Amino acid sequence: MQFSTGHVGRHSLRAIIERPELELIGLHAASPTKVGRDAAELCGLAEPTGVVATDDLTALVGLKADCVVYTSQAETRPDVALQELTAFLTAGTNVVGTSLVWLVYPPHADAWLRDPLERACVEGNSTMYINGIDPGFSGDLLPLAALSLVERADHVLVQEICDYGTYDDAEFTGVSFGFGTPPEQVPTLFLPGVLRSIWGGPVQLLADELGIPLDEIRERVERWTATEPIDCTMMHVDPGRVAAVRFAVEGIVDGRTVITMEHVNRLTQAAAPEWPFPPEGRSGVHRVVVAGRPGVEINTHVGLHGTDHNEAGVIATAMKAVNAIPVVCAAPAGLVSLRDLPVSQVRGLMR
């Protein structure tokens, strides 16, 4: 079952329809313009599926699907998302999703979010897993792959360096990152504790995997304002308004930064020339650099052969959820992270 057909959801819906081992039995749409339309139409496929979008949550829960892929916008309306998710979990339907990004590492999440979901998992003997490209892949699978190659690690740096100019998401990403706003206006993402609540999870996950007790998780933020007008897919930015952000969440031991998860996001490659850029003139990278012996750097570029890097990031995010369906359905009940699942989630991909 697929829940929502937004930026991420239309890709997961398409994957569910096209994968021979998966069967779409229901589709949720909140938008009145989508309700009643065939699932195929909502993700750009020609052949109708016979499954039409509905906003009837009770009917969808009653279908008792093995799993729901939940990609509805949840950070701006967590109360509604919690109601929807607990309804599925209590009924015994497993959840894989990209929403509620605080849950990439459930032990780090606040009790108001974790407790009702955990109770629902116990009641329904169901499992829930949240992931994406960042937070998600870049902070769990990617650094774990790099760390598997080293004798000794002194510092782990995870970075998303990405030009968001082509990302058509002014409403959520644009607003929450504060693009286009005066620098004195603090957007949601940079209110104290918000970065830690999102990227602190992956930092803590890595620390727990490494077996190091962190003394503290710190956050830092810098913003860069446009020197001339910028026009990009995301928005128009006037001079003096924010056009690039650099922020990080850091794990500290004995006063030393041991894990850094950093973002550098611009709306044009001309912005913030003094900040790091992706290698080889690319527009985006998800990378890890492990300092130590022998030292490892892995640069991940999603989107080859003309696929835009932002669109590719959205597809990759959707696939982190869809690809996890079999292992999540087979996992013990509860809120899980990559630590609880088989690392390999690729069965059925080669077609």
Minimum distance from residue 70 beta carbon to ligand NAP (Å): 9
| Residue in 99, 126, 197, 345 binding ligand NAP, rule: CB under 6 A | 99
**C-alpha 293: how far from chain center:** 30
Euclidean distance between CA atoms 312 and 84, whole angstroms:
28
Tell me: does residue 201 bind ligand NAP (CB under 6 A): no
Q: Is 332 exposed, middle or buried (0-12, 13-18, 19+ CB in 10 A)?
A: exposed
Ordered DSSP codes for 205-232: HHHHHHT---SEEEEEEEEEE-SS-EE-
Minimum distance from residue 75 beta carbon to ligand NAP (Å): 5
Chain positions 139 to 198 lying near ligand NAP, rule: CB under 6 A, are 169, 172
Chain positions 2 to 21 lying near ligand NAP, rule: CB under 6 A, are 4-9
User: Of 134 and 250, which has the nearer Cβ to ligand NAP?
Assistant: 134
Instruction: Give the x-and-dash track for 117-136 against ligand NAP (CB under 6 A).
Output: ---------------xxxxx
| Residue in 2, 12, 49, 71 binding ligand NAP, rule: CB under 6 A | 71
And the tokens for 106?
């459930």
User: Of 150 and 312, which has the nearer Cβ to ligand NAP?
Assistant: 312
Q: What are phi and psi of 306, to 5 degrees?
A: 90, -5
Euclidean distance between CA atoms 347 and 231, whole angstroms:
42
Euclidean distance between CA atoms 237 and 239, whole angstroms:
7
- Are the beta carbons of 234 and 173 closer than 8 angstroms? yes
Minimum distance from residue 3 beta carbon to ligand NAP (Å): 8
Instruction: Give the x-and-dash track for 20-39 against ligand NAP (CB under 6 A).
Output: ---------xxx--x-----
Q: Which residues bind ligand NAP (CB under 6 A)?
A: 4-9, 29-31, 34, 71-75, 77, 98-99, 101, 132-136, 169, 172, 314, 317
